Amino acid sequence: MISFFIRKKKNKPEEALLYARISVNGIYIEMSLKRSLEVSRWNQSACKLNGSSMESQQLNKKIDETKALLYKAYDSLQKEDQVITASAVKSRYLGIDKKHYTLTQLLDYHSTKMKGVLKYGTLKNYTTTETYLKNYLKEKRTISDIYLKQIDYQFTLGFERFLRDLPSLSNNGVMKHMERFKKLMHLSEDLDWIEKNPTKRFKLRFHHVDMVYLSKAELQKIKEKKFKRSTLSINRDIFVFCCYTGLPYGDVLELKKKHIQIGIDGKKWIYTRRMKTNTLLRIPLLEEAERILEKYKEHPRVSNSDILLPVYSNQKTNQYLREITKAVKINKELSFHAARHTFATTVTLANGVPIETVSKLLGHTKLSTTQIYARVIDSKISNDMDKLRGKL
């Protein structure tokens, strides 16, 4: 039961302070509404201020709002199956019964709970985002932690500005960190650690970046180049292998002998699952890819193990690729993922393989994802236009 009453001021008996009384099972607790009023205008039976003045309207509205919020606090405790007391209702109304979580607690919760869910590379990216968030607190806010309820839209914009001032990050790099920050705050909302997510209004603005791939001539130059250093030769061969299979770095690293099986056509196929999405991959081995597997069958790192290719670390792989492109005078910044793009464009689509088939070979669940890779290269445009000229 909720009721309202006044208590006269000792030094001014003609004025009084307004109180609310919360009663549960015969036990009550009082709470000041921190509002003063004239004693003569108070109607105790109606629990309202008499008259229609602006002051009366505002105070009566305050009484109605307080009453509604107290009943809401009572209902929320009941839904949560909490022990309901007058004190508990008051605490819920004042918001002092809830534990307030901090950003550090959210980061710790995410890193602990996601260890067995997210892939190593994704977790590593979140760790970097977490480091930037902690640096932002320390350098720009001069604090070591912050309550989640204190994070607002201004904090979000400030974090974006902090990231943009870092010389190592491009626009898309900034947006990837903001995307992860938004996901972290969405998690805190799902956990009921915050009532309102301040990052919802923040729009991610990625710049379109053309994906790097090799033309037929460039791929041939890399294939034919003789290297004195075995590390470059091995790295080149594994890169070329992925140009003819479409496998990304993580999947070729984990490629094992058991993944090579005889397919429906009686020829060798790769049967595996993508590390990133766990999607089933079924890739017929092209002659070039099969030749590379055969070449490394007796390699010391391969012959006595279950792996198929002696793949270097991701960092070393990309370092060697830069040396390879420099040696063959290809003016492109290649990363290992360029092999996947090359497979999608130069090896398959440019040779008339339907995009639906390419989508299956890449392990995509949506055709729209494949269309990002499906670059219509100049030679294909030229061939299509020649056909059109013939028809015209």
Q: Where are the domains of the chain?
A: 2-94, 103-190, 216-391
Identity of the residue numbered 108: D
- 216-391: CATH homologous superfamily? Intergrase catalytic core (1.10.443.10)
Residue 98 is predicted with a pLDDT of 64
The whole-angstrom distance between residue 328's C-alpha and the CA centroid of its chain comes to: 38
Tokens linked to 65: 């709002």
Residue 376 is predicted with a pLDDT of 59
- The 10 Å Cβ neighbour count of residue 349 is 21
Residue 68 is predicted with a pLDDT of 94
Residue 91 is predicted with a pLDDT of 86
Residue 299 is predicted with a pLDDT of 92
Q: How far is CA 365 from CA 249, 278, 340, 353, 360, in A?
A: 19, 11, 16, 18, 8
- The 10 Å Cβ neighbour count of residue 254 is 15
Query: Which residue from 111, 198, 94 is spatially nearest to 146, judged by alpha carbons?
Result: 198
Name the strands in the sheet holding 15-24, side by side, starting at the edge strand that comes first in the sequence: 2-8, 15-24, 27-38
Residues 6+ apart with CB under 8 A from 258: 306
Residue 377 is predicted with a pLDDT of 58
Residue 276 is predicted with a pLDDT of 81
Residue 94 is predicted with a pLDDT of 86
Phi, psi of 42 (to 5 degrees): -85, 130
Q: What is the largest CA-CA distance in the chain?
A: 104
What is the C-alpha to C-alpha distance for residues 252 and 287, in angstroms, rounded to an integer? 17
Residue 380 is predicted with a pLDDT of 64
What is the C-alpha to C-alpha distance for residues 32 and 7, in angstroms, rounded to an integer? 10
Residue 170: CA atoms inside 13 Å, Cβ hemisphere, count? 5
pTM value is 0.63
Q: Do residues 373 and 340 lie in contact, with contact meaning Cβ atoms separated by under 8 Å?
A: yes
Query: pLDDT tens track of the chain, all 392 residues?
Result: 899 999 999 889 899 999 999 999 989 999 999 999 999 999 999 989 998 899 899 999 999 999 999 999 899 888 877 788 998 899 888 877 666 789 999 999 999 999 878 877 789 999 999 999 999 999 999 999 999 989 999 999 999 999 999 999 999 999 999 999 999 999 999 998 888 999 999 999 998 877 889 999 999 999 999 999 999 999 999 999 999 999 999 999 999 999 999 999 999 999 999 988 888 999 999 999 999 999 999 999 888 889 999 999 989 999 999 999 999 999 988 899 999 999 999 999 888 899 999 999 999 888 888 877 765 556 566 777 888 888 87
State the DSSP string of 285-344. Answer: PPHHHHHHHHHTTT-HHHHTSSBSS-PPPHHHHHHHHHHHHHHTT--S---TTHHHHHII
Per the listing, tokens 């030094």 go with 11
What is the C-alpha to C-alpha distance for residues 218 and 307, in angstroms, rounded to an integer? 29
Residue 118 is predicted with a pLDDT of 83
